[in-house]
Amino acid sequence: MGVQTVISTIIPFVFWIVMAAPVVLIMCLLTAIKKSLKKSVEQNVEIIRLLKEKR
C-alpha cells in the first residue's frame, strides 16, 4: 500500500469533517441560544408569579 493510496483514502474523511464542523458549531450555538431563551422565560414567569403574590 503506497503513500498515495493512504493519502487518497484519508482525503475524503478530512473533507467531510471540514464540511461538517460548521454545521455542528451552528447547531451547538442554536441549542445554547434556545436554552438561554427558555431560562429567561422561566425567570420571567417566576417574577410575575412573585409579583402577583405580593398584591
| Residue 11 grid coordinates | 482525503
Is pLDDT of 1 > 70? no
Residue 25 binned pLDDT confidence (cut-offs 50, 70, 90) = very high
Mean pLDDT of 5-24: 92
Element (H, E) at 12: helix 3-54
Phi, psi dihedral angles at 2 (to 5 degrees) = -85, 170
Task: Assess whether pLDDT exceeds 80 at residue 13.
Answer: yes
**What was the pLDDT predicted at 35?**
93
What pLDDT is stored for residue 19 in this prediction?
94
C-beta neighbour count of 19 within 10 angstroms: 9
16 or 55, higher pLDDT: 16
Distances in whole angstroms, Cα of residue 23 to Cα of each of 9, 11, 31, 50, 52: 23, 19, 12, 41, 43
How confident is the model over 27-54, as a mean pLDDT?
Answer: 93
Query: Structural domain boundaries of the chain?
Result: 1-55
